[in-house]
Amino acid sequence: MQRDRLLWYVGTVVVLVCGFTHSAPVNPNPNIPDVKENTDPMDDNFLSLEYKKYLEEVVQLLESDEGFKAELDKMNAEGKDDLARPQLLELEYREYLNQTIYILEDDPEFRKFVANLSTEEVQSGQIAHYLQFANKQTRTKLDELKRLEVRRLRDLHKKLMRETADEIRAGKRDPKDLPSVDSEHMDHSNPHTFEIEDLRKLIKKTTDDLTNVDKKRKEEFKHYEMNKEHEYREKLKHANAEEAERLKKEHEENLKKHKEHPKVNHPGNANQLKEVWEEEDHLDPEDFDPKVFFGLHDIDGDGYLNTPEIEALFQNELDKVYNSSNPEDDMVERDEEMNRMREHVFTEIDKDQDGFVSLEEFMKSTQTEDFEKDESWDTLDDEEVFTDQELEEYEKTLAEQEAKLQERHNVSQHSSPVHSALQQIITYYVFPQHLLST
């Protein structure tokens, strides 16, 4: 596993270096569509390339370097082995989605027709109707891409069925419980060509799934906040009068301290970006230039601001409210605040909803009336994360779970091996049903 992961890292570096230092390769065979290759270094096709031997020798060399191995272990522990947009990591079809976006963005005619579409038109799938204006080369690439995705799904289904058969034979799975492959992101009535219905389904599925990712995150955060309140109330319940008074006073002081912070600028507006320009880029706010700003913060130089690059713009605002050295500031809440800011900026600026902010989208956002408005940002302190009723239901659920655990604990205390053996003997001899049945 460690060696495989090492191959992944080194292979990724090779791909990135090649991508940044060389122009796009010319397709040697014009009859084969120029679909962007899957450059996952753990893919069998990737490792079968001519430089496989070279790659393995580099890996062997790095494996002997203790410093590199220590850093690799650290990255593994921190979960930094994938730099893609976090929301997209949960989508099984993300490679198909990324390739579709890549192909369509490369078509000037298609881009021209969809440039002014609203967020609602994109998310609803109405954008799919403009596929008819894409050029022939684009359609050919999309056809080939779809055939590859159909093959991937079929191979995945075969693999799952083989694994299921093994589990059924081993008695580990119910024969009725057969696995299914999620394939709602494409039109199966036509497995050969990529049509309007394919694009509509892909957009709708992606929109629904990403919405569910954020919805799940918000639900988890709500439970976290309710649990904090529950624990505080439990402390008060079990404290004497003097201790309870001290806890209440401390709690109120922490809430008051946390709310005492400088004004938080609205994410993505002029004041917020100019503050980054002045304090992080160390430039004169009077000389603020949106295009230069975009270039400074497009760290990987790909012409887009991705999620980490966008979230980096919020750190100065977050520092105004959250400090890890202050007991009144909760870093889990800081992460949620950052997610709220990220959601807001992508909703306002990322008009094609591809998970990236292009230079064109960014420049358009700086030309709106809202950009110059001197608005502050309402932090989590100004929001109602949960209602009294939700907290009541949560505490009721906790009480029920605690009662069940206590019941199991009581049963287990009387279920020692000796107790079980005695119970069997008593049942066998005192209530000999086996004799009655003969």
pLDDT (tens digit, 9 = 90+) per residue, 200-239? 888 888 878 877 888 888 999 999 999 999 999 999 999 9
φ, ψ of residue 376 to 5 degrees: the values are: -95, 165
Q: pLDDT value at position 60?
A: 62
278 and 293 fall within a common domain: yes
Q: Which of 297, 295, 271 is nearest to 285 (CA)?
A: 271
Q: pLDDT value at position 313?
A: 96
- 211 within domain boundaries: no
- 227 within domain boundaries: no
Q: What is the pLDDT of residues 239-260, one digit of tens each?
A: 999 999 999 999 999 999 999 9
Decide if 185 contacts 150 (C-beta within 8 A): no
CB atoms within 10 A of CB 94: 17
152 and 28 fall within a common domain: no
361 and 423 fall within a common domain: no
Decide if 130 contacts 108 (C-beta within 8 A): no
CA atoms within 13 A on the CB side of 251: 13
State how far the alpha carbon of 422 is from the alpha carbons of 23, 407, 408, 413, 426, in Å.
79, 22, 20, 15, 6
Secondary structure, 3-state, 115-132:
CCCCHHHHHCCHHHHHHH
103 and 180 fall within a common domain: yes
- 215 within domain boundaries: no
pLDDT at residue 2 greater than cutoff 50: no
Task: List, in sequence order, every residue forming a beta bridge with 304; answer none if it has no partner.
Answer: 358
pLDDT at residue 274 greater than cutoff 60: yes
Instruction: State the DSSP H helix or E strand holding residue 358, giving kind and residue range, or none if neither.
Output: strand 357-358
Per-residue pLDDT band for 289 (boundaries 50, 70, 90) equals very high
Decide if 149 contacts 224 (C-beta within 8 A): no
67 and 93 fall within a common domain: no
Q: What is the pLDDT of residues 373-392, one digit of tens each?
A: 999 999 998 889 999 999 99
- 217 within domain boundaries: no
275 and 375 fall within a common domain: yes
Of 186, 205, 224, which one is at a domain's C-terminal end? 205
Of 81, 114, 137, which one is at a domain's C-terminal end? 81
Section 142-163 average pLDDT: 89
Residue 256 belongs to a domain with what CATH number? 1.10.238.10
424 and 357 fall within a common domain: no
Q: What is the pLDDT of residues 164-206, one digit of tens each?
A: 888 888 887 777 777 777 788 888 888 899 999 999 888 888 8
φ, ψ of residue 51 to 5 degrees: the values are: -90, 15
pLDDT at residue 339 greater than cutoff 70: yes
Section 138-164 average pLDDT: 89
Q: Where does 140-242 show beta strands of DSSP type E?
A: none
pLDDT at residue 438 greater than cutoff 80: no
- 220 within domain boundaries: no
Per-residue pLDDT band for 32 (boundaries 50, 70, 90) equals very low
Q: What is the mean pLDDT of the chain?
A: 78
% of the chain at pLDDT higher than 70: 72
- In this prediction the pTM is 0.56
Which structural domain range is residue 427 located in?
388-436
Q: What is the pLDDT of residues 97-133, one digit of tens each?
A: 888 988 998 999 898 888 877 767 777 778 888 999 9
Of 81, 113, 144, which one is at a domain's C-terminal end? 81
Q: Which of 346, 342, 368 is nearest to 357 (CA)?
A: 346
- 228 within domain boundaries: no
285 and 363 fall within a common domain: yes
Token pair 């394939």: residue: 183
243 and 378 fall within a common domain: yes
76 and 145 fall within a common domain: no
67 and 98 fall within a common domain: no
Q: pLDDT value at position 174?
A: 78
- 32 within domain boundaries: yes
Q: pLDDT value at position 403?
A: 84
407 and 357 fall within a common domain: no
Per-residue pLDDT band for 406 (boundaries 50, 70, 90) equals confident
Task: List, in sequence order, every residue forming a beta bridge with 18; answer none if it has no partner.
Answer: none
Q: How many domains does one find in the chain?
A: 4
- 348 within domain boundaries: yes
pLDDT at residue 143 greater than cutoff 90: yes
Please indicate whether residue 9 or residue 415 has the higher confidence score (pLDDT).
415
